[in-house]
Chains A and B, each alone.
Chain A
Amino acid sequence: MLQQLEELKLNALQELGSIGSPGELEDWRVRYLGKKSELSMLLRRLAALPLEERKAVGTLANELKAHLEDSRRQKELALQELAASAREEALDITLPGRPVPTGRLHPLTQTLDEICDIFVSMGFQVVEGPEVEWDYYNFEALNIPGEHPARDNMATLWVDFEAENGERPMLLRTHTTSVTARIIEGATPPIRAVEPGKVYRYEASDATHVPMFHQIDGIAVDKGITMADLKGTLYEFARRFFGEDRKVRFRCDYFPFVEPGVEMAIECSVCGGEGCRLCGGSGWIEILGAGMTHPEVLRRGGIDPEVYSSFAFGMGIDRLPMLRYGIDDIRLLYGSDLRFLRQF
């Protein structure tokens, strides 16, 4: 009898080991633990045995039943886990995710925002002005009278307009310095402002020219402002925008609305100052024009140049993302091509 139980245990556990599905497990349960199983029969026959033997066999048989029941439960859990993990493996985690909408700001917007933020952090205020402008604010107020040679460098798009008095020529502003002229005229110092916006030139399109592009001008007016402040402000801007290590150059240049006049250049990023095609061999890339606001410009705007001093600057924006990303054709910026714009 005892031997029979031993055999039964061996067979049952061996069979259990090879079971691979819940169905088989159920069959096994019926066979070994069911009402008609060998073990149940055996237990029912116990009563016929002598007391001694009945005790020994009974204990063993009940232990065996508990053991088999335990093993079955473990097997069941193992099968469930197996099934669950099989389900998880069905997820191909290399598939791409559900798309979410992505749009991007135009690289010029990004650049302008970045520049404005730098100047705002230095106490400047962002101001905008009209793109269609009177000759006065674009030229006259900035010391550029009618036949001034500086006008030749800023080919102008004129608006077909005649005022009742026949005069007051209207144009598309050729630089955002026109907003500087308006600020000087309207405000009382202290003033610190930057003026971003679109500007226009009578110019045929090619890889480096477009008839509409972007600029930002700036002006500071207060008592005691010096060229050292101009240099410090622009150096700080260059440090933040171009990075700590970029060398900056400050040289004399001429603009009718400033005196002394300045041109600021940064070291060419392509050649590191050695000279290459991008920088025309000079090792420097011109970034902006600046200077101490001409006393005549201040006076015209109603500010006494004997009391206040002022610096002003202006720079083209389009070149900055072009330099930063190596864009070789300015027309791409205004072309609305998604294959281009989605890169920024």
Chain B
Amino acid sequence: MKVSLKWLQEYVDVVLPAADLAGRLTMAGSEVKGIQVTGGWENIVVGQITAINPHPNADRLRLTTIDLGSEQHTVVCGAPNLNCGDKVAFAYINAQLTDPHSGKLFRLKPAKIRGVASDGMACSERELGISDNHEEIMILPDEAPLGMPLADYLGDSIFDLDITPNRPDCLSVIGIARETAALTGQGLHIAEVEYEEAEVSIDRQVSVEIDAPDLCPRYCASLIEGIRLAPSPPWLQQRLISYGIRPINNIVDITNYVMLEYGQPLHAFDYERLRGKKIIVRRADAGEVIVTLDDVERTLSSDMLVIADEERAVAIAGVMGGANSEVAGVTGSILLEAAGFNPASIHHTGDALRLPSEARMRFERGISPELALPALRRATQLIIQLAGGKAAQGLIDVYPGKRERLPIRLTIGMVERLLGVAFNLDRIVGALTSLGFDCEVTASEVRVTPPYWRSDISLAVDLIEEVARTLGYDKIPAAMLSQPLPRHSPEPVLDLKRRVRQSLTGYGFQEVITYSLTSLEKLGKLLPGTGEVRPVPLRMANPMTADQEYLRPNLRPSLLVALEANRRHESGGIKLFELGKVYLPRPNDLPGEPEVLCGILSGPRQERSWLGDSEPVDFFDARGVVEGLLDRLGIDADFKEGSDKGLHPRRQVSIVIAGSNAGIIGEVHSRVVEAFEISEPVYLFEIDLAACLPFTANCKAFQPVPRFPAMVRDIALVVSSGVTHQRVRDIVKSFPLAARVEIFDVYAGEQVPEGKKSLAYRITFQSPTHTLTDEEVNGVQRQILDRLSSELGASLRS
């Protein structure tokens, strides 16, 4: 919200420089985001046009004589809008102005225009930097004093304030004046509102009935007869313009002005057009139609509140007036409304009709219904002053929602308990009093009644914040928590996640973080068969874009997209991983959110270097990463044939930990790779961290270092090509003395019969209890070979 310093000064003495005041307001909760200084004009004064003569050499130019009070100047002028008697801003030679075309500042130089010397100029708003208007010379109000520097007459500082949603009272000049007064120790001076009333009582001319007191706690109105609709005086127009509000006519402008001044929205009805001379505040009928002031026909629903006369709705309460009751005639009577409305209802209605407005914003934030009457009286006074007319006697005030405000109990101890600093009673009471709170001090406590405009205060903690922010948050000391430490029980998954991330970066993988939302289309690309994603992932009810409609059930699409995007500028190996949640729908509950690690790799195994090129990565690189990671985490895993549809059917293996599935390793299916517009093989691994978690506990028993020497034997087997390494290994490992089994060669081709392959193993025999003899090892080796031969048909390679 904007506040003009000049306007503010009408209610409070500003004793600080603007920047310091802005600092105080900011620290106390109303952030000043910027101060716009208008003015700073040098060598520009108020002048009056006393004569306009034709230019001797040009039809479109005129010679204008400008009186500055003590001197007169003749300037050449091309603008069409000047008349004798107009007050203008006169710039002396050397004045600094804005170039209307380039927008840059320049100094006015003496000039001859078509042979006539011009010793100064009359400025447009654009040249003064006030607005973009360069069509016309700016005309100043008649009361502008001749010869007065323009900076003194028009200069101002406009504060741009960010008002927090709890302080609708600060959405007004008076509200900020109250804050300023409290924060700077100055008094407020708000003039009494007085005006003359006619003989006839308002009650005899109009009646008000509230049918929906839950949505309208209060409705006040005044009636003013015999007004003259006209443009507002320039000072009023100027003020509205500086707030970005377009002046319309004196009545509408005054309602806007009082809204800015007091924070209470008002609405004026044409009294003549109110049928039955009756106001009924009621819920709209379903489908009820009203044409609003912006000439749009709007269909209402039954949860919206309208202001109606006896026959029809004449306004959407708190949101926008109806065209059917707009003040139209040049003279006439108006009914002026100031009411309190339910914030939620206004919010809902405004949202449904997509009608944002200054009035709506104030109602939504819950301005106090108490504000209605003082604001109504102020607006009535201004209308009588500026539009003539006479107010009917009395006001209408229907107030079904009036609530007694009970005092709130506050003690020094309560303040100290929350703030950690002991303020004495005088300072506490002083702070609250300066903000308009009524403090009744007893022996043991203060009974505090908030002022009517503070709808946000209901608890002692609210009062404590008032005390703290008025005295200054900088008065609160900084202390360290001195209580005993709470019991420490860290979530083990956090440690696991850190270790996994550290390991993967160590293996050369770059971590990425991508959006959790994706599209069904991308997920479908992962399934080369049907493309049908089952189960259907969680969908957003209001997605931002079609690309971000579903919560991802796996991390694959974003990694494949990232690979494709990076491949455009990266010719080396790409290894990426993401560790994040996936979202698995559950009936009638929040989704499961397991943490999943997903990694992909493609391209050369090693960075290209002068030491030689490298082969492209393959399945065993992916498997190696997983084995290395699990080994590092201390997890024993089995690997079984996998059946993931998105992976190459014969190049994938599922990771099994303690009998249950914990992830997958494989080559991404060529059709999936194609669907993501990637033109190279991609290998992928996926691990469910929850499946790993129970087996990562750091409590494994220590294994003694072997005390007796090991004996190493190499054997080369010939087996059918269908026999897997795992089957051989399992058999060898089943002999306790075979402490380690390593495969060091796999070969098929010459010297090995068709349909067979050779597998070479190094077996390390070791006993924890004694030194093995040759005979002993020979015996075990024979048994091993016997079993390999009988179960797998293996023979020793000669």
Interface of A toward B, CB cutoff 8 Å: 95-96, 98-106, 108-109, 113, 122-123, 125-128, 130-134, 146-150, 153, 157-161, 163-164, 170, 172, 189-192, 198, 200, 202-204, 211-212, 220, 222-229, 231-233, 235-236, 249-254, 256, 259-262, 280-282, 292, 294-295, 309, 333-334, 336-339, 341-342
- Cross-chain contact B505 with A103 (CB below 8 angstroms): yes
Contact status of A147 and B343, CB under 8 A, knowing A157-B544, A259-B459: yes
- In the bound assembly, the distance between CA atoms of A192 and B484 in angstroms comes to 11
Q: Which residue of A is nearest B540, CB measured?
A: A157
Interface hub of B26, B459, B491 (most chain A Cβ within 10 A): B26
Contact status of A260 and B510, CB under 8 A, knowing A132-B593, A134-B590, A233-B481: no
- List residues of B (22-43) whose CB comes within 8 Å of A's CBs: 26-29, 31, 33-34
- Cross-chain contact A202 with B542 (CB below 8 angstroms): yes
- Cross-chain contact B566 with A337 (CB below 8 angstroms): yes
Q: Which residue of B is nearest A284, CB measured?
A: B26
Contact status of A103 and B510, CB under 8 A, knowing A113-B498, A222-B483: yes
Contact status of A146 and B541, CB under 8 A, knowing A106-B513, A334-B514: no
- Cross-chain contact B544 with A202 (CB below 8 angstroms): yes
- Cross-chain contact A336 with B565 (CB below 8 angstroms): yes
**Residues of chain A contacted by B611 (CB below 8 angstroms):** 98
**Residues of chain B contacted by A225 (CB below 8 angstroms):** 481, 483
Contact status of A191 and B510, CB under 8 A, knowing A103-B505, A170-B590, A252-B29: no
Contact status of A132 and B473, CB under 8 A, knowing A105-B501, A105-B511: no
**Residues of chain A contacted by B551 (CB below 8 angstroms):** 132, 159, 172
Q: Which residue of B is nearest A221, CB measured?
A: B486
- Cross-chain contact A228 with B593 (CB below 8 angstroms): no
- Cross-chain contact B468 with A103 (CB below 8 angstroms): no
The answer to whether B671 has its CB under 8 Å from any CB of chain A is no
Number of interface residues of B (CB under 8 A): 98
- In the bound assembly, the distance between CA atoms of A198 and B583 in angstroms comes to 13
- Cross-chain contact A252 with B540 (CB below 8 angstroms): no
- In the bound assembly, the distance between CA atoms of A131 and B591 in angstroms comes to 9
The answer to whether B765 has its CB under 8 Å from any CB of chain A is no
The answer to whether B574 has its CB under 8 Å from any CB of chain A is yes
Report the minimal beta-carbon distance from A183 to chain B, rounded to whole angstroms: 11
Apart from the given pairs A103-B506, A337-B566, 4 other A-B contacts in the complex at a CB distance below 8 Å: A101-B507, A123-B481, A228-B421, A232-B480
The answer to whether B127 has its CB under 8 Å from any CB of chain A is no
- In the bound assembly, the distance between CA atoms of A292 and B417 in angstroms comes to 11
Taking a contact as CB atoms closer than 8 A, the residue among A108, A133, A148 that contacts B513 in the complex is: A108
7 nearest interchain CB pairs? A101-B508, A226-B420, A228-B420, A147-B344, A260-B465, A254-B164, A336-B562
Report the minimal beta-carbon distance from A57 to chain B, rounded to whole angstroms: 64
Complex interface bits, B673-700 against A, C-beta within 8 A gives 1, otherwise 0: 0000000000000000000000000000
- In the bound assembly, the distance between CA atoms of A198 and B29 in angstroms comes to 28
- Cross-chain contact A334 with B507 (CB below 8 angstroms): no
**Residues of chain B contacted by A249 (CB below 8 angstroms):** 27
Q: Which residue of A is nearest B562, CB measured?
A: A336
Report the minimal beta-carbon distance from A316 to chain B, rounded to whole angstroms: 15
Report the minimal beta-carbon distance from A194 to chain B, rounded to whole angstroms: 11
- In the bound assembly, the distance between CA atoms of A122 and B480 in angstroms comes to 9
- Cross-chain contact A227 with B468 (CB below 8 angstroms): yes
- In the bound assembly, the distance between CA atoms of A228 and B508 in angstroms comes to 46
- Cross-chain contact B461 with A131 (CB below 8 angstroms): no
**Residues of chain A contacted by B462 (CB below 8 angstroms):** 259
- In the bound assembly, the distance between CA atoms of A113 and B511 in angstroms comes to 14
- Cross-chain contact B29 with A231 (CB below 8 angstroms): no
- In the bound assembly, the distance between CA atoms of A256 and B166 in angstroms comes to 8
- Cross-chain contact A99 with B588 (CB below 8 angstroms): no
10 contacts between A and B (CB under 8 A): A123-B481, A123-B485, A148-B165, A149-B165, A149-B347, A161-B538, A225-B483, A229-B479, A256-B166, A295-B461
- Cross-chain contact B33 with A98 (CB below 8 angstroms): no
Taking a contact as CB atoms closer than 8 A, the residue among B418, B479, B562, B577 that contacts A232 in the complex is: B479
- Cross-chain contact B609 with A96 (CB below 8 angstroms): yes
Report the minimal beta-carbon distance from B535 to chain A, rounded to whole angstroms: 14
- Cross-chain contact A147 with B419 (CB below 8 angstroms): no
Q: Which residue of B is nearest A122, CB measured?
A: B481
Contact status of A253 and B164, CB under 8 A, knowing A233-B481, A336-B512: yes
- List residues of B (506-524) whose CB comes within 8 Å of A's CBs: 506-517
Q: Which residue of A is nearest B164, CB measured?
A: A254
Report the minimal beta-carbon distance from A321 to chain B, rounded to whole angstroms: 12
- In the bound assembly, the distance between CA atoms of A319 and B735 in angstroms comes to 59
**Residues of chain A contacted by B203 (CB below 8 angstroms):** none
- Cross-chain contact B420 with A190 (CB below 8 angstroms): no
Q: Which residue of A is nearest B27, CB measured?
A: A251
**Residues of chain A contacted by B468 (CB below 8 angstroms):** 227, 252, 260
**Residues of chain A contacted by B364 (CB below 8 angstroms):** 147, 149
Q: Which residue of B is nearest A170, CB measured?
A: B590
The answer to whether B795 has its CB under 8 Å from any CB of chain A is no
**Residues of chain A contacted by B483 (CB below 8 angstroms):** 190, 222-225
- Cross-chain contact A191 with B486 (CB below 8 angstroms): yes
The answer to whether B705 has its CB under 8 Å from any CB of chain A is no
Q: Which residue of A is nearest B515, CB measured?
A: A212
Q: Which residue of A is nearest B587, CB measured?
A: A164
Q: Which residue of B is nearest A236, CB measured?
A: B480
**Residues of chain A contacted by B576 (CB below 8 angstroms):** 336
Interface hub of B28, B490, B493, B542 (most chain A Cβ within 10 A): B542
Contact status of A231 and B477, CB under 8 A, knowing A132-B590, A259-B461: yes
Q: Which residue of A is nearest B509, CB measured?
A: A103
- In the bound assembly, the distance between CA atoms of A99 and B606 in angstroms comes to 7
**Residues of chain B contacted by A334 (CB below 8 angstroms):** 513-515
The answer to whether B365 has its CB under 8 Å from any CB of chain A is yes
- In the bound assembly, the distance between CA atoms of A29 and B34 in angstroms comes to 97
**Residues of chain A contacted by B581 (CB below 8 angstroms):** 131, 198
**Residues of chain A contacted by B378 (CB below 8 angstroms):** none
- Cross-chain contact A260 with B513 (CB below 8 angstroms): no
Q: Which residue of A is nearest B550, CB measured?
A: A160
The answer to whether B402 has its CB under 8 Å from any CB of chain A is no
- Cross-chain contact A226 with B544 (CB below 8 angstroms): no
Taking a contact as CB atoms closer than 8 A, the residue among A95, A211, A309, A336 that contacts B514 in the complex is: A336
The answer to whether B464 has its CB under 8 Å from any CB of chain A is yes
Report the minimal beta-carbon distance from A225 to chain B, rounded to whole angstroms: 7
- Cross-chain contact B588 with A282 (CB below 8 angstroms): no
Contact status of A159 and B538, CB under 8 A, knowing A223-B483, A281-B34: yes
- In the bound assembly, the distance between CA atoms of A270 and B711 in angstroms comes to 68
- Cross-chain contact A339 with B569 (CB below 8 angstroms): yes
- Cross-chain contact B27 with A233 (CB below 8 angstroms): no
Taking a contact as CB atoms closer than 8 A, the residue among B33, B480, B566 that contacts A229 in the complex is: B480
**Residues of chain A contacted by B491 (CB below 8 angstroms):** 126-128
**Residues of chain B contacted by A105 (CB below 8 angstroms):** 501-502, 505, 511
- Cross-chain contact B465 with A261 (CB below 8 angstroms): yes
Interface hub of A149, A212, A223, A294 (most chain B Cβ within 10 A): A149
Taking a contact as CB atoms closer than 8 A, the residue among A104, A190, A236, A260 that contacts B511 in the complex is: A104
- Cross-chain contact A280 with B481 (CB below 8 angstroms): no
Report the minimal beta-carbon distance from A116 to chain B, rounded to whole angstroms: 8
- Cross-chain contact B29 with A254 (CB below 8 angstroms): yes
- List residues of B (538-564) whose CB comes within 8 Å of A's CBs: 538-544, 548, 551, 558, 561-562
**Residues of chain A contacted by B577 (CB below 8 angstroms):** 103
- In the bound assembly, the distance between CA atoms of A126 and B496 in angstroms comes to 13
**Residues of chain B contacted by A190 (CB below 8 angstroms):** 483-484, 486
- In the bound assembly, the distance between CA atoms of A74 and B51 in angstroms comes to 118
Report the minimal beta-carbon distance from B692 to chain A, rounded to whole angstroms: 17
- In the bound assembly, the distance between CA atoms of A204 and B544 in angstroms comes to 7
The answer to whether B20 has its CB under 8 Å from any CB of chain A is no
Taking a contact as CB atoms closer than 8 A, the residue among B26, B165, B477 that contacts A228 in the complex is: B477
- Cross-chain contact A163 with B504 (CB below 8 angstroms): no
**Residues of chain B contacted by A153 (CB below 8 angstroms):** 165
The answer to whether B296 has its CB under 8 Å from any CB of chain A is no
- In the bound assembly, the distance between CA atoms of A163 and B574 in angstroms comes to 44
- In the bound assembly, the distance between CA atoms of A126 and B495 in angstroms comes to 10
Report the minimal beta-carbon distance from B680 to chain A, rounded to whole angstroms: 16
- Cross-chain contact B478 with A159 (CB below 8 angstroms): no
